[in-house]
Amino acid sequence: MNKLILKLAVVSVVVFLSSCGGDSDPGYEFMPNMYRSPSLETYGENVITGLNAQLPVDGTIPRGYLSTFNYDGSLEGYLSAGNTAVNPIEKNDKNVSDGKALYGMFCEHCHGKTGAGDGTIMHPVYSAVPHYNDDKLKRRCDLPMCDLKAGHIFHAITYGLSAMGPHASQINEEERWKITLYVQEELQHYGQN
């Protein structure tokens, strides 16, 4: 019994002594690397592997990537889209009528049934909706509305223009091309031929 008390006394003294130390002394650390991992700043340089953590993995597809149209929202993007973008949608009755239905849902309330800029939205902000078949007033690309190319129209739908908001989040890429097809086939020369 006495031996047990003695053992307990020795253990208590050891525990008591080992817990002494300065306030900042963490005591014995079994695996210091686990307690003290190197702190990395978000988007900072990765000091462990030396690799830059900002680089996306090979083959990563950026959010909002369009497989048939990659022009930015700038004027240069708009102009080069007009020069080079090609509508990948086949011109046939089905696609034109799909485009017409989509136009009715997303554009007609401002641009009007025949594209004359006379939609049902009545607000001073939307008073200057251009006519699609206007052949006089030059637009940003130095062409009148009736001569806008597919890339110009797709760009306007995607990124918007002043009072017309961007429609990229509401209408997918294929649908935007179908609307573009419909605008070019049916509205740009409406009443002119």
Site residues (CB under 6 A) for ligand HEC?
Answer: 106-107, 110-111, 121, 126, 128-130, 139-140, 148, 152-153, 156-157, 161-164, 167, 179, 183
Q: How far apart are CA 110 and CA 94, in angstroms?
A: 24
Token digits for 141?
Answer: 């690309």
Considering beta carbons, is residue 46 or 143 the nearer one to ligand HEC?
A: 143
Considering beta carbons, is residue 15 or 156 the nearer one to ligand HEC?
A: 156
Cβ atoms within 10 A of the Cβ of 141, count? 18
In the complex, minimum distance from the CB of residue 73 to ligand HEC, in angstroms, rounded to a whole number = 12
In the complex, minimum distance from the CB of residue 134 to ligand HEC, in angstroms, rounded to a whole number = 10
Distance of CA 185 to the CA centre of its chain: 29
In the complex, minimum distance from the CB of residue 142 to ligand HEC, in angstroms, rounded to a whole number = 11
Considering beta carbons, is residue 36 or 138 the nearer one to ligand HEC?
A: 138
CA atoms within 13 A on the CB side of 68: 17
Considering beta carbons, is residue 12 or 74 the nearer one to ligand HEC?
A: 74
Residue 154 makes CB contacts below 8 A (sequence gap 6+) with 69, 81, 85, 87, 176, 177, 180
